[in-house]
Structure 1
Amino acid sequence: MKADLIVYNIGTLVTSKELERKSIGDMENIEVLKNAYIAIEKENIISIGEGNYPVELKDEKTELFNAEGKVITPGIVDSHTHLVHYGSRENELPLKIKGVPYLEILKQGGGILSTVRNTREASKEQLFNKAYEVLNRMAKFGVTTVESKSGYGLNMETEIKQLEVNKELNKKHPLEIISTFLGAHAVPEEYINDKKKYIEEIIKMLKKVKEKDLAEFCDIFCEDSVFDIEESRYILNEAKKEGFKLKIHADEIVSLGGAELAGELQTVSAEHLMAISDKGIDELVKNKVIANILPATSFNLGKNYAPVRKMINKGVTVALSTDYNPGSCPCENIQFVMNIASAQIKMTPLEIIKATTINGAKAIKKENKIGSLEVGKQADFIIYDTHNLNYIFYNIGINHVNDVFKKGKIIVKNKKLVF
């Protein structure tokens, strides 16, 4: 077997291949190679290791790429975004600065309801073009796979429209898009006095989304004044019957018991978790639910961060994502999230790399394909413009990514898109 591409002279190669834990709270248990190489045939890795690459992998057609002693990690998996929407909400910024709670903004017809109106009015082309440009910027920051939730339609037509745009983006943009149906993101204005009827509409949407094969996951905003525990349990159980994998926005604002529900239903992930209880943490561990943490949201809202160190120490599998959305976190920069995780949550560099690679892949059930650099896996990786892993977290506020490879092909070269 001959390689199409060999990347050699890698100073530090963080493969994110999981090693045996030294303790329950060990989240630095990923492989780090020095003076390494990666050999790729077509889309997949065929050889990886330290030292010089095996000469038998090379022939006259093999492309050689000198990493110049720099740091390489797997491509970043941004496993929680609200990518497809229209409009923006900078008009709410003064309210947030003054401390007006989000739920109060929502009651005034702002917040998500404002985005819903804009998204309903937007064409597929408008939604596609806006999201495509966002993906371009995410790619420059090292993201190679993106989870994208619907939830700004809150009716059959627009929820389907959002998910169809996801499907089109997945075909036409180099980044991979994983779709999540989030019809239970809020109660739309037309059902504000009849939530039960809207829940019936959500169940109809579930069936149509599954019929059209437009999403792998179903998510729900389980929160005070949105969907309570019983409503969330009902909707997620109906989604499970339809064959969806489950996610849940849990305990973001109020400690409602969303993490406990995630454990009960054995959802793939529970997202946000700033107000998680100790019992909720125990349920995540017991039921192997991924805690998807969104620190840029806490930063932007001036709220407390999720108790990540407590979660890690108890053995929770933690992922980190941007939560890119038009309201609480209009952040496309995963490296900014990584900086916050280091400076504010006190996660170590290896913990952060693990959280944004293999654990991000686990949060979308793609860990057998992406998230770590191993033989047989997809060749998604980043070359950072540094020779020291710690420097990425030390020198904050800049883009450290130099080159990005997706499925063995370079898509960002010297910080510029090449597709």
Structure 2
Amino acid sequence: MLITNISQLLTLAGGPQRGKDLGQLGILAESAVLVQNGVIEAVGPCDRMLKAHPTEERYNAAGKVVMPGFVDPHTHLVWAGDRAAEFEMRLEGMSYQEIAEAGGGIRATVRATRNASLDELKTQSRARARMMLRTGTTTAEVKTGYALQHPGELTQLQAILELDKEGPLELIPTYLGAHDIPPEYKEHPEDYTSQLCRTLLPEVLSWWQINAPNRPLPFVDVFCETIAFDLEQSRRILEAAKALGFPLKIHADEFDNLGGAAMAARLGATSADHLVVTSPEDIAAIAASDTVAVALPCTPFGLATQHYTPAAAFLEAGAILAIATDLNPGTAWCESMQFSIALACRYMHL
């Protein structure tokens, strides 16, 4: 098929852009795309492509923009239940931390997810995946972290793998057993940290080698915040994961700057996400590395804090910057990268 009369074709040629080069989208004006057997075979000026491929079936884009599907690099797609009541609590002035201390937040979703079967998780998550696809996302990273007990975390991984196999949305798994301290370990966070490092991460590796032997290893992520895992605990978890060969990600600097962003850069993490209160020194550390700074504007929008990732500072420093939805049941129930990008433009001045 030859897609013709494209006003702007976004090729996004090359690797990730840094700093102020972020706006270089490889735009071809008045262009066409040749697709054969589901593969993009050629792009070029519309008149030249029409002459080179006169017998191809044609689709008239009628002056629209054509671009690759969105890649959403931070989602919590697989969960059970909802936390709609928390929106009213925030309207009444309660903070994220206060809601968590009252039994809401991540732990509320943990209770619902633990009680859900694999089929129930897939059914609820499939509807969200379809909405993501409808709004232009074709690839999404998906985290576990809403069971916080080993069998349930593996069930979440299984749900991600099976939904990915169903397609057409491509799902990239992340193990987030360090999303929060499980209720059973609330008074003993060190015990859970040690269990993650010594037992659970090796068991995840073994499970993966049996259940997904032909796939790359999942990412391992940790929520490095005062209300979850401190910097030292986060370091131990990430170093244990790295020693096993897992690629790394981190939630850092959403509420408190504990140094998670700089640690992510030192450890060679693929990304550091949130980064709302990251210091200038840590921004420089991210910029000097290949770690991607992932901004999540739907989250402060949902929290009504108006405290957004300082995107301009990251770009000025020369960092690699990405935008994601942070799709989750409590603070950012948003499947749309389009909306997330709109927020980034409006409130982060991109």
TM-score (normalised: structure 1): 0.78
Deviation per residue, 1:241-277 (Å, 9 max, x gap): 1111100001000111111111111111000000110
d(CA) in 2 for partners of 1:20, 1:176:
20
Report if the CA contact (8 A) 1:166-1:177 is conserved.
yes
SS at match of 1:116: helix
After superposition, give the CA deviation of every residue in 1:385-407 in whole Å (9 maximum; x if it has no partner).
Answer: xxxxxxxxxxxxxxxxxxxxxxx
- In structure 1, how many angstroms separate the alpha carbons of the residues matched to 2:244 and 2:36? 37
- The amino acid across from 1:17 in the alignment is A
Between Structure 1 and Structure 2, how many residues are aligned? 340
Alignment deviations for residues 196-244 of structure 1 (CA, whole Å, 9 cap, x no partner): 2212332322222222226520000000131111111110011011111
For the structure 1 residues 84 and 24, does the alpha-carbon distance in structure 2 shift closer, same or farther, using more than 3 Å as the test? closer
- The gaps in structure 1 that reach 5 residues or longer are 348-419
What's the CA shift for 1:302?
A: 1.6
The worse-fitting range, judged by mean Cα deviation, of 88-97 and 282-291 is 88-97
- 1:32-55 C-alpha deviation (Å, 9 max, x unpaired): 101111112323221111233165
Distance 1:24 1:252, change over 3 A: closer
For 1:163 and 1:150, locate their aligned partners in 2 and report how far apart those are by CA, in whole Å.
6
Root-mean-square deviation (Å)? 1.8
Amino acid at match of 1:308: A
For 1:135-284, what aligned pairs fall within 5 Å after superposition? 135-203=129-197, 204-213=199-208, 215-284=217-286
- Code of the aligned partner of 2:247: K
Which residue of structure 2 aligns with residue 13 of structure 1? 9
1:382 corresponds in structure 2 to none
What secondary structure, in the 3-state scheme, does the structure 2 residue paired with 1:74 have? coil
Q: Give the alignment partner of residue 27 of structure 1, picking from 22, 25, 29.
A: 22
The question of whether the paired residues in 1 share the 8 Å contact of 2:286 and 2:319 is answered with yes
Superposition TM-score, scaled by structure 2 size: 0.93
Give unpaired runs (5+ residues) of structure 2: none
Cα deviation code 1:257-314 (max 9, x no counterpart): 1111111111110000001100110010111210100001011112201100111111
Offset of 1:24 from its aligned partner? 5.3
What fraction of aligned residue pairs are identical, expressed as a percent? 37
Secondary structure in structure 1 of the residue aligned to 2:22: coil
Partner residue, 1:306: 309
Structure 2 distance, partners of 1:307, 1:20, is 19
Report the counterpart of residue 120 of structure 2 in structure 1.
Answer: 126
Alpha-carbon distance change, 20 to 212 in structure 1, aligned in 2, over 3 angstroms: closer
Q: Deviations over 1:84-124 (max 9, x none)?
A: 00000111222211222222222222111110010010011
The 1:43/1:20 distance shift into structure 2, 3 A limit, reads: closer
Greater helix fraction, Structure 1 or Structure 2: 2
Equivalent position SS for 2:194: helix
